Amino acid sequence: MALIATFAGVMAALGAIPAFSPGGFPVPITAQSMGAMLAGAILGRRRGAAAMTLFVALVALGLPLLAGGRGGLGVFSGPSVGYIVGFPVAAWVVGWLTEALGAPYRTVLGVIANIVGGVVVLYALGIPGTAWRAHISLTAAIAGAGWFVVGDLAKAVVAAAVARGVHAAYPGLLTTRASRRARDWHDAEESTPVR
């Protein structure tokens, strides 16, 4: 629970970095997509998604945690809705890929996981949401999202570098397939009746 709350706080802290809207595009560029990458890469799929779900719930309750001091139910009717609700999904995908890749955490593979979950998946949810709520064509929403690509790729690299450092310091933090198999084997041994 402490880790989930901490990463919801990290996401809120990233919202303090000023946002800006390039070329009048209705969705601002923020640092918060990196928060979803960090949560998944460091905490794994379940806890990472839970941290982002907690963050989104706090925003829905009215806390001004989104970049630019935005919060409340109104943000879910705005052009950023797809990205906001996509944060837990992105964290889950990054975490799932990170767990599947196993330990030790490798930076290059971590960057790939961050790009798949934190860029591709987040855009897949965010772009249609922008087109719907900003009343623009899907093509225009895709073109507008082009403003985000370079920055989001840089965030994927930074998040992987941070995750590498955290996993080097706390190697048991991430649940991987191997650690799940070992835990399941241990649990099976513990539950075997002694004759």
123-150 confidence digits (pLDDT tens): 999 999 999 999 999 999 999 999 999 9
Q: What gap in Å lies between CA 168 and CA 33, rounded to an integer?
A: 23
Instruction: Name the residue ranges covered by the structural domains of the chain.
Output: 2-191
Angstrom distances, CA of residue 65 to CA of 4, 13, 80, 150, 172: 16, 8, 14, 24, 30
Q: What gap in Å lies between CA 144 and CA 75, rounded to an integer?
A: 19
Query: 2-191 domain in CATH 1.10.1760.20?
Result: yes
Q: What integer is the mean pLDDT of 169-194?
A: 61
| Non-local CB neighbours of 100 within 8 Å, separated by 6+ positions | 176, 177
Q: Which among 9, 7, 8, 32 is positioned nearest to 19, based on CA atoms?
A: 32
Side-chain half-sphere of 117: how many Cα atoms within 13 Å? 33
pLDDT at 130 (0 to 100): 97
pLDDT at 191 over 60: no
Angstrom distances, CA of residue 126 to CA of 134, 179, 193: 12, 34, 52
